[in-house]
Amino acid sequence: MKTDRELSKRLIEAALQGGASLAEVFQSASSSKSADVLGGKVEAAESSSTFGYGLRIVKDGRPGFSYSNNPDDASAVVDTTLATSAHSAADEALGLPVSQAAPDVATFDARVSEMTEQGVAGLAGQVEQGALAFDSRLSKIRKASASMRTSQVLIMNSKGLVQSFRATTCSANIMAVAEEGGDAQLGWGYSSGRYLREVDFRQVGSDAARRATQMLGAR
């Protein structure tokens, strides 16, 4: 699900019509894909999405707030927000930001956002391969995982502010076991970044294997 500007407009208009002097809506939406690989096979694959929004107002100098994850609850959210303001303490310093230029911070990678479930599973496989290829003493992999997440944020208020951005995150992690002479040790590898190029999936596996083998014989 994506953020919805029309929903924000409706919430703000309804809040103002209900007596609020100021109103602001914050929306957040995200989607993610993840995969676990063991022995070269996909053990688990998951896709999920989230959405939510919150409305805050100032009415008679008093703040009010409510939220939901269902767009169909918009009217109830407005009513609850207006009602909560009646039970809040007045504060003459309350206000909302005005519209102004904001820097464009690069946090979005289309390659992460468009990654398929099969692609995520392939990257998890690279993590496992990186560990197993590092040292023959690697006896087992507990879990090799990869995940991709895309998020959107939209902020809109009654003073003309409209700001939004998209961001991505990708990550890899693994737990590896090394054994020698009756000794077994665990090693963990993890990496994350905004961009796909920032994560070396095979290296994450190698890091876990290196840590596990370095612990062999430790006292």
pLDDT digit string (tens) for 82-125? 999 999 999 999 999 999 888 889 999 999 999 999 999 999 99
Residues 6+ apart with CB under 8 A from 122: none
| Residue spans of alpha helices (H) in the chain | 5-17, 74-85, 110-113, 117-132, 201-215
Supply 71's token pair.
């767009």
Count structural domains, the chain: 1
Whole-number average pLDDT of the chain: 95
Query: How far apart are the C-alpha atoms of 157 and 8, rounded to whole Å?
Result: 8
Residue numbers of the domain that contains 90: 5-215
Query: How far apart are the C-alpha atoms of 97 and 54, rounded to whole Å?
Result: 16
pLDDT digit string (tens) for 205-217? 999 999 999 999 8
Q: What CATH code is carried by the domain that includes residue 37?
A: 3.30.2290.10
